Amino acid sequence: MTQSQSEKFISILIHMKKYPEMLIDKPCMSYLDAFQLGFVMGCNSSDVEPANERSEFDLFVKSLCVKYSINSPWHNSLIEYCNSDEKAYELFMNEFELFLRDREKYINNSL
């Protein structure tokens, strides 16, 4: 994901946290995974910016994987970790909120 795509996706996630049913059928990780895939595919069909550096969203995902010792595909690994699609979504959104609050720390640590 490019940095500009990441910024757009992060702004969508902020709204999704408040009103998930407006963007996905139900708040669960499987639906978020499908939504993200559609978002990236749509962006890749229209953007010409190369994804040659880690985006802010990529840094968030990396920190999530390290914190919970999960691997790719991280969506499925998070569901397995939580033993529930819905609980994985809740955990993702809670961690995303913490990431937004402390985003400068994550970005500075990745440099």
Q: Which residue has the tokens 């946290």?
A: 17
Domain count, the chain: 1
Q: Which domain holds residue 105?
A: 3-110
Q: Would you call 47 exposed, middle or buried from its count of C-beta atoms within 10 A (0-12, 13-18, 19+)?
A: middle
Average pLDDT estimate for 35-47: 81
DSSP at 83: T
User: pLDDT digit string (tens) for 49-106?
Assistant: 555 556 888 888 888 999 999 987 899 999 999 999 999 999 999 999 999 888 776 6
What pLDDT is recorded for position 43?
80
CA–CA separation, 64 and 81 (whole Å): 12
